[in-house]
Copies of this chain bind each other. A is one copy, B any other.
């Protein structure tokens, strides 16, 4: 049932002699299937095929790529519960959550199908000739975006569907015409293989060239590093830890021809709770603790730092948070490594002086429950390493005496995916300095909400200053995620019949264009 090899061209290849097994964190044992690690010949062949596919695949009409993406979504849905079952056994994530994530994955594929179909992302810019201009005639110059080249995707462990084999990175790269090679995540090998096979079926059904999509299994230091150094690769998308992300970023930068490496590496997503926001006690505490603990807190937008402005109701507010946290049962973490790391991080924090509002419970196997730490602003400022993300259901409450202490804490923060402000809207103007700092620190600002549950839409920004991501100018979620994989291609005095459709006078794609500086959908 589950392909155990590596998807190269449109075929499953099994040349290697090393294997990986998936792990079931709920039962604490490995699953039986032996997945073949890609060997060096297979890696070379995949790179070569991706290179060969590029010109053909990127030259297809957007409609063709849209059909391909829609077929992928269809094939994933057709798999039904067998996909979710496998995924559940490989990750311990609840079935309901996985059903939701599958929905999101298919929605993403269809969103990017729409974008591929519309070709709006080509954003043509035309400056027309003026032969009479003095001292020199003005040439005709036309530019539109085109695919960058083969893209390598490292999938995330905590989103085995939406940030994995057919996730946002893959969908956005395929939409614009970049062949994709996915390095399958070691945490969900079977899920990866099942989804890759959906893409294989869709690719064959819609006649996509071989090399359009490929998926290789194997350990990161072995297969991942070889792929990053693969000559044909033109860009990399990565979702994962700071440690792994930075190591691969450095590798990409060290290439003879460096390539853009977009890594989303998580953050602690600071949340400010003003005095007045602590008043409607139960609601905020429940919402907040839910965001911290949901699915064992394994989200890059998990609120790991809660800056509470000291007020008359602060003790009561924290009591409410404790009460809410204790209501929630334990959930399994993705695997043993993640579990150990969480346990060690929590004890390190305690040893280095953090108080505990809610302690780690004692649970079976790799299950964990929410942990809430607490410290003063002074302590936080003295311990810069408390800014490091604790991946899991942990959040640190920092009690700030007043607005100026709040600002001092915000000032020290590193780059974040999100920053959230809980307040009475009427008092916002009093916090303009704090908000000014938050704007410099985070890609997305939220008001009276929680950063988990990232909406997939045109306006989403999922990225931020380092170490939240390696390039704050891009996002890995939402329509704009495709901007990472495109480059402008410029034509000067080019014969009209040889121009790409986006740049032809009649505007055959019917898209918005900038002509002599003005936006228009009209033909020339």
Contacts and interface: CB of A to CB of B under 8 A. Distances in A.
Interface stretch (A303-311, A364-372, A454-462): A454-462
B260 A449 contact: no
B138 A459 contact: no
B472 A487 contact: yes
A60 interface: no
A175 B76 CA distance: 47
Contacts of A488: 443, 461, 463, 473, 475, 480
Most buried by B among A126, A467, A472, A514: A472
Contact of A489 (B259, B443, B455, B487): B443
A512 B519 CA distance: 8
Contacts of A415: 257
Contacts of A138: 455, 457
A222 interface: no
Interface stretch (A2-10, A77-85, A385-393, A433-441): A433-441
Interface string A422-447: 00010011000001100110011111
Contacts of A149: 440
A139 B455 contact: yes
A110 B514 CA distance: 19
A459 B55 contact: no
A414 B231 CA distance: 12
B148 A447 contact: no
A429 B497 CA distance: 10
A216 to B, nearest CB: 24
Contact of A494 (B445, B480, B497): B445
A470 B261 CA distance: 12
Contact of A141 (B259, B429, B459, B497): B459
Among A460, A463, A492, A493, which residue has the most Cβ atoms of chain B within 10 A? A492
A195 to B, nearest CB: 23
A490 B447 contact: no
Given A258-B470, A260-B473, A473-B487, A458 B517 contact: yes
A471 interface: yes
Contacts of A455: 127, 138-139, 141, 492
A341 to B, nearest CB: 22
Contacts of A428: 495, 497-498
Given A141-B460, A253-B253, A428-B498, A443 B258 contact: no
A138 B455 CA distance: 8
A486 interface: yes
A519 B517 contact: no
B472 A258 contact: no
A350 to B, nearest CB: 27
B258 A253 contact: yes
A453 interface: yes
A300 B227 CA distance: 32
Contacts of A148: 472-473
A136 interface: yes
A514 B120 CA distance: 12
A143 interface: yes
A466 interface: yes
A283 to B, nearest CB: 15
Contacts of A458: 125, 127, 514, 516-517
A507 interface: no
Nearest to A51: B440
Given A257-B465, A466-B258, A55 B141 contact: no
A19 interface: no
6 contacts: A428-B497, A445-B494, A447-B491, A460-B490, A473-B488, A475-B488
Interface of A: 54-55, 125-127, 136, 138-139, 141-143, 146, 148-149, 249-250, 253-254, 257-260, 414-415, 425, 428-429, 435-436, 439-440, 443-449, 453, 455, 457-461, 463, 465-467, 470-473, 475, 480, 483, 486-495, 497-498, 512, 514, 516-517, 519
